[in-house]
Amino acid sequence: MSAPVRLLVISQQFSPEMGALPNRLYPLTRHLAAHGHDVYVATGMPNYPKGKVFPAYRGKRFLREALDGATVLRTAYFTTPRNVSKRSQLLSYLSFLPAVLHSGWRAGRVDVVFVTSPPIFPALPAILLAKLRGAKLLVDLRDLWPDEVVAVGAAKEGSLSIRLLRLIERWMYRSADVVTCTTRAFEDTVAERGVGAEKRRLLPNGADVELFRPLPRENPVAAEYPFGDRFVVMYSGLLGIKHGLETILDAAELLREHEDVVFFIRGEGPRRQALEDRVVELGLENVLFGGELPIEEVPQLLARADVCVTNLLPDPYLEKIVSVKVFEYLACEKPVVGALRGEGARVLEESGGGITVAPGDAQAMAAAILELRDDPERREALGKAGRRYVEEHYSRAVIAATLERLLGELTAGRNGAS
């Protein structure tokens, strides 16, 4: 076992915020703290996804709190709803930098600075803090942010904004002692961008299988929604541009005559209002929406799903990612219909837990949903296969243990670890 490590985690989001990033980091920090490491998290006041600071944190400039063994250091920064304007969102990102620099400095001496991206901007104070503290720098790469910005049409390759992001990206890779990637495809890409094999490590996404688990179909959280005895097709997660959720609405339109089938879309994000407007425009009475929930309640809602769905836009970059929701669906023993290519499709097919169709293919998605509706035994078999797969390969506990070993390797000389 490695010697105790003093670790500083830099992230713009952290528990009690909800979403893919906090859901990734919280189990990691909890595991490391439980195994005797000194874990500090430098972050802001919770405000994601709506951009409004949570009531319990309003009016506070600085805050130090303990969360499952980790010391969380919070500094307020400018927050704004994500769909107000690009300028306001950029100001929010930039105002976080001095805030997190302040929080990070308050952690004192550390052995490793761990920064997660995207967003990419926190890499700047992370590089500075690592240099000032004489610490190792670990960059946790969850998405290739410049590539994603281009993929969703938010900016064009070669534009000033993308050139600046590429500049930060190159500096981040050069400064890092280790770059962890969530998929093999990301590893290949950063290798092409000059990150040597000695720096690259795989640290995939996954699910907290103790939280995301099979639960009774009928429960108090699910009972709050008007599902009745209908067949529930559920999407749970961020309502973002890259998810191409119009495909799910198109599938719902194709199945509108099947009165026993209802689509439920749970989450917040920049596409929420547009999706609700389209449901009204199409007159879809078989689509329901739900908002954010405490993460502890999400598995109870997923328990009511008969099938879970996911989609990504048909873009070469998006073939490199695997959405966290896929692991959470599978961990809850839910059969999945995924309109995916690349890494996402590979995981779903390897798991034996679902059916893949082409991104954007609403007809194929609708057909797969009906196929599963009519075959309850297959639904059960897919669900059990998916759960086994996540437990064996993508449990957050397994991933946290991998990170712990990596931290031991990084600090072996300094701490005298074996």
Whether the predicted pLDDT of 278 surpasses 70? yes
pLDDT for res 221 = 97
Whether the predicted pLDDT of 158 surpasses 90? yes
Determine the 3-state secondary structure of 223 from DSSP. Answer: helix
Whether the predicted pLDDT of 399 surpasses 70? yes
pLDDT for res 45 = 97
Q: Which two tokens stand for residue 91?
A: 């100001």
Per the DSSP assignment, residues forming a β-bridge with 72 are 41, 65
Closest CA to 332 of 358, 359, 298: 298
pLDDT for res 417 = 41
Q: How is the beta sheet containing 136-141 ordered, strand by strand?
A: 62-67, 70-75, 38-43, 6-10, 112-117, 136-141, 178-181, 200-202
Whether the predicted pLDDT of 395 surpasses 60? yes
- Mean pLDDT of all residues in 298-313: 97
The 10 Å Cβ neighbour count of residue 409 is 13
- Mean pLDDT of all residues in 319-335: 96
86 band by pLDDT with thresholds 50, 70 and 90: confident
C-alpha dihedral sign at 323, 328, 331, 333: negative
- Mean pLDDT of all residues in 190-195: 96
Half-sphere exposure for 330 (CA within 13 Å, toward CB): 34
Looking at residue 71, the DSSP 8-state letter turns out to be E
The backbone torsions φ and ψ at residue 285, rounded to the nearest 5 degrees and listed phi first, read -90, 0
SS (H, E, C) 114-146: EEEECCCCCHHHHHHHHHHHCCEEEEEECCCHH
Determine the 3-state secondary structure of 43 from DSSP. Answer: strand
pLDDT for res 84 = 72
Query: How far is the C-alpha of 15 from the C-alpha of 26, rounded, in Å?
Result: 7
Whether the predicted pLDDT of 1 surpasses 80? no
pLDDT for res 2 = 64
Residues sharing a CB contact under 8 Å with residue 298, sequence separation 6 or more, in sequence order: 212, 236, 266, 328
Query: How far is the C-alpha of 45 from the C-alpha of 75, rounded, in Å?
Result: 6
Task: Print burial letters for 167-203: b (CB count within 10 Å at least 16), e (below 16).
Answer: ebbeebbebbebbbbbbebbbebbeeeebeeebbbeb
- Mean pLDDT of all residues in 71-99: 90
Q: Which two tokens stand for residue 196?
A: 């040597």
> Does residue 81 contact residue 110 with C-beta atoms inside 8 Å?
no
pLDDT for res 49 = 83
Whether the predicted pLDDT of 14 surpasses 50? yes
Whether the predicted pLDDT of 144 surpasses 90? yes
Whether the predicted pLDDT of 120 surpasses 70? yes
Query: How far is the C-alpha of 293 from the C-alpha of 192, rounded, in Å?
Result: 40
Q: How does pLDDT run across 51-72, given as a tens digit for each residue?
A: 999 999 999 999 999 999 999 9
The conformational region for residue 352 under phi > 0 = left, psi -120 to 50 = alpha, else beta, is left
For helices 246-254 and 272-282, angle between their N-to-C axes, nearest 10 degrees: 20
> Does residue 406 contact residue 178 with C-beta atoms inside 8 Å?
yes
Q: What radius of gyration do the chain's Cα atoms show? A: 21
pLDDT for res 409 = 95
- Mean pLDDT of all residues in 203-221: 96
Whether the predicted pLDDT of 416 surpasses 70? no
Determine the 3-state secondary structure of 210 from DSSP. Answer: coil
Residue found under tokens 């001496």: 109
pLDDT for res 95 = 96
Query: How far is the C-alpha of 120 from the C-alpha of 128, rounded, in Å?
Result: 14
Give me the long-range contacts of 213-220 (CB less than 8 A, separation at least 24): 213/299, 213/331, 213/332, 213/333, 213/387, 214/303, 214/332, 214/333, 214/383, 214/387, 215/299, 215/300, 215/302, 215/303, 215/332, 216/303, 217/303, 217/304, 218/304, 219/300, 219/303, 219/304, 220/300
> Does residue 101 contact residue 133 with C-beta atoms inside 8 Å?
no
- Mean pLDDT of all residues in 392-397: 94
Query: How far is the C-alpha of 327 from the C-alpha of 348, rounded, in Å?
Result: 9
User: What predicted TM-score, i.e. pTM, was given to this entire model?
Assistant: 0.90
Cα 6 from chain centroid (whole Å): 25
The 10 Å Cβ neighbour count of residue 51 is 16
Q: Indicate the average pLDDT of the chain.
A: 95
pLDDT for res 418 = 35
